[in-house]
Structure 1
Amino acid sequence: MKNISELDGWRGISILLVLAAHLLPLGPKFMQLNGTAGAMGMALFFTLSGFLITSFLLKDQSIIKFLIRRFTRIIPLAWLYLFIMFLFVPATPTDIMHNFLFTANLGEYNTNHFNTHFWSLCVEMQFYIGIALVIALFKEKGFIFIPVFCIAITLYRVDNQAYVNTTTLLRLDEILAGGILAMVSHGKLGDKALAFLGQLNPFVMFALFFISSHPESEWANYFRPYFAAMLVGSTMYNKKALVNGFLSWSVLKYVAAISYALYVIHGGLRYTWLGEGADTLEKYLKRPLLFAVIFGLAHISTFYYERKVNDWGRKFSNRFDKKNLTKEIQN
């Protein structure tokens, strides 16, 4: 498998697209570029997540180890954010419970605009638990459910005419498409599938991905998960792709490193004094300061708070390696 640098590049691009969609005016409103950028950013984010998670499980099917690492990656900042938010925002115990359990996107539990962006974390966490159960029950054979479920959910979206949706069963195919890409990368779907990725033109795939993310494209939106996965795959295996040098840019690698914190933090700050104004001019004059605060807090969170918990999670999860468990039993 090619170096992970392409994936870092796409992760950096995905969060920049989301930030741009939420915080900047991207052309005239009639072009609907903000909605397009948001859909593109989230589709890339989910594709990368599905790829990395499936790749991890293909290499190591220790479910306890997997869940410990994923929970310690997502929960520390998410719960800290929610705790601070609910100190200032009134909410019912039910609202609070569903937010902390990452089930808020399954009902009317998003109490205010400060945490509406948590729908994506709910989709992620529900996927972690779901894929863990499938692999725990079916072992190696469980991976075949990834393409089956992916296609089934896309058909479910078609039946519900859901072009872009925040409910798990109407969005999960974007993660599962990344899982299919991981299966192709690990040779689980045959050599022809891998060769196909190497023949794809990244610029053509980007154009198709853009079209499938635009609100006015309607039915083309159903193909967005697959175009996103093929776009990422084309840059991983097309050695002649000119875009690969750009994806390896150190700035994108840094943005990718703090991308999770950027996503969590920006969702709330955009509705504070920093993100609002009496008129459009005042609001956008504050944008440089808003971006500076978001990136500053994301840097601090990533390297001085989350990293410590993540490192502990990795060390603790290693105790559940099959080799380590065998040694402990023998001793």
Structure 2
Amino acid sequence: MKNSNIQLLRGISILLVIFTHLGVFIPNSRTFQLLHSFFDTSIGVDLFFIISGYLMGETFLKAIHNKALSSEDAIIFYKKRILRLYSPCFFWATLILLFSWIWLDLKYFKEFRQILGVFFGAITFTGNFYNATHPTVFGYFWSLGVEMQFYILLPLLVALTVRHRWFPCLILLLAFTAVPGGIKTWWMFRANGLFIGLLLWFFTQTTSCDSITKKLNQFPIIVVTTIFSLAIFSACYLSYPYKIFGGVAHTIIALILALAFFSVTFYEKPVLGPFSKPLEALGDISFSLYLCHLPIFLMTKYLLLDHITNHYFIAAMGILMAIISACLSYRFLERRSQKIRHNQIEPYR
């Protein structure tokens, strides 16, 4: 497994998410509406979930393989996760709160207490619960809530199962799959991709995976690139019609994305050629970019809309400012948190 390929996938994931939210700039664009009616690019979050689920196995379960889970292992894991996620999340949630007058002026909120709800939902990682009952323009904090709740749940499952640790993950995946399509807000709780990513890690620890990986690396780059591209486009295209099936839809889409994940991550060569390095760089800042892109988009719109009539230019400026902001966030928040983590917390042996 190449770490650079993981970053490439994160870069693609954040591009899909950003495209989903470009509607704040160009809501009346026929081209955008047409593309968005056929391709559900919000599945970028599901790809993020698969990556996180897989890395949960690689960084946590692998470390405690063949031994019982100790309280020390769990504490170390939680410290790492909190230091990794909390600083940038708290910063951008606070910024949303401080600039509440902009969101009120743009009429995205009716009253200040709604913004306060977004803030507390974000910093307590319960944004999925708040936004399920109080939908807002900053509902994207839902995914951080799902991920942190998954992190809390998994070590508890591991502690209760000595052998076959994959089994409770499979049972929970089936439970999430069984959720009916009539529950409109269920998408804010979908952990299907996280469970599939984790189950994928269990599979990679088998001899069968070793055999498949060898065969995969015998394929020409063009074949692997085609498999990967078709998987991403299929997931985007099939997401809308499958939505009526509820939890089944999220599992189907996550399985398709798991194929994309595997084909790229376990291939020894850069799959997307000259696009690989830029996407990897984007992957490095993907978490900060996910957190900052919507508030930066809306600030850019607020500052430029009365002075510039070209909505596409405003969108381009919004993307540029979001990338710059994400680079700064990554440099001064994420990297700083990582240094503290390495200095204060003993790494897994």
Alignment TM-score > 0.5, same fold: yes
State the partner residue of 1:270.
297
Is 2:286 aligned against 1:259?
A: yes
Say which of 288, 293, 301 aligns to 2:321. Answer: 293
Deviation at residue 211 of structure 1 after TM alignment: 3.0
CA distance in 2, matches of 1:291, 1:103: 27
Instruction: Name the counterpart of 1:58.
Output: 61
Aligned pair partner of 1:185 in 186, 189, 204:
204
Distance in 1 between residues matched to 2:132 and 2:33, nearest whole Å: 31
Q: Structure 1 residues 192 and 88 mapped into 2: Cα distance closer, same or farther (>3 Å)? A: closer
Q: How far 1:16 moved relative to its partner?
A: 0.9
- Residue 151 of structure 1 aligns with which residue? 174
Report the alpha carbon displacement of residue 296 of structure 1 after superposing the two structures with TM. 1.0
Say if 2:41 and 2:236, in contact at 8 Å, map to a contact too: no
Say yes or no: does 1:120 pair with 2:119.
no
Report how far residue 33 of structure 1 moved: 2.5
Q: Is the 8 A contact 1:197 1:234 kept in 2?
A: no
- Going from structure 1 to structure 2, the CA distance change for 1:161 and 1:227 (only over 3 Å counts) comes to farther
Instruction: Give the secondary-structure state (helix, strand or coil) at the position aligned to 1:244.
Output: coil
CA contact (8 A) 1:40 1:210 kept: yes
Q: Tell me the CA shift for residue 216 of structure 1.
A: 3.3
- What secondary structure sits across from 1:166 in the alignment? helix
Residue by residue, what CA displacement relative to the aligned partner does 1:118-157 show, whole Å, maximum 9, x if unpaired? 111111111111112222333554333222221221122x
- For 1:280 and 1:272, the matched residues in 2 are separated by 14
TM-align CA RMSD: 3.3
Shift of 1:8: 1.4
The answer to whether the 8 A contact 1:8-1:247 is kept is no
| More divergent stretch after superposition (41-50 vs 306-315) | 306-315
The alpha-carbon distance between structure 1 residues 249 and 161, as it changes in their structure 2 partners (threshold 3 A), is same
Letter in 1 for 2:49: F
Contact 1:47–1:179 under 8 Å retained in 2? yes
Compute the TM-score of the two structures, normalised by the length of structure 2: 0.76
**Structure-2 residue corresponding to 1:46:** 49
Residues 47, 225 of structure 1: 8 Å contact kept: yes
Q: CA deviation at 1:34?
A: 6.6
8 A contact 1:7–1:48 mirrored in 2: yes
Cα pair 1:76 1:309 within 8 Å, conserved: yes
Preserved CA contact (<8 Å) 1:6 1:248: no
The whole-number CA distance in structure 2 between the counterparts of 1:38 and 1:267 is 15
- Counterpart of 2:195 (choices 140, 155, 176) is 176
1:87-126 pair list within 5 angstroms: 87-89=98-100, 90-91=112-113, 96-108=119-131, 113=136, 115-126=138-149
**Displacement after TM superposition at 1:208 (Å):** 3.2
Matches within 5 A, 1:300-315: 300-315=328-343
Partner letter of residue 178 of structure 1? G
Q: Which residue of 1 aligns with 2:188?
A: 167
Match of 2:301, SS state, is coil
Deviations 1:233-277, CA, capped at 9 Å, x for gaps: 1223456x8x71438722111100000010100121222243673
Equivalent of 2:31 in 2, 10, 28: 28
SS of the residue aligned with 1:181? helix
What letter matches 2:39 in structure 1? T
The one-letter code sitting in structure 2 at the alignment partner of 1:287 is A
* Structure-2 residue corresponding to 1:6: 5
SS of 1:233's partner is helix
Instruction: Report the TM-score, using the length of structure 1 for normalisation.
Output: 0.80
Which residue of structure 2 lines up, in the alignment, with residue 138 of structure 1? 161
Matched, 1:225 2:254: yes
Instruction: Say whether residues 1:216 and 2:232 are aligned partners.
Output: no
Aligned residue in 1 for 2:69: none
Q: CA deviation at 1:301?
A: 1.0
Contact 2:213 2:266 in 1 (8 A): no
Q: Which runs of 5+ in 1 are unaligned?
A: 324-331
**Counterpart-to-counterpart distance in 1, 2:3 and 2:274:** 10
Aligned counterparts of 1:151 and 1:279: Cα–Cα separation in 2: 52
How many residue pairs end up in the alignment? 311
Q: Is the 8 A contact 1:105 1:167 kept in 2?
A: yes
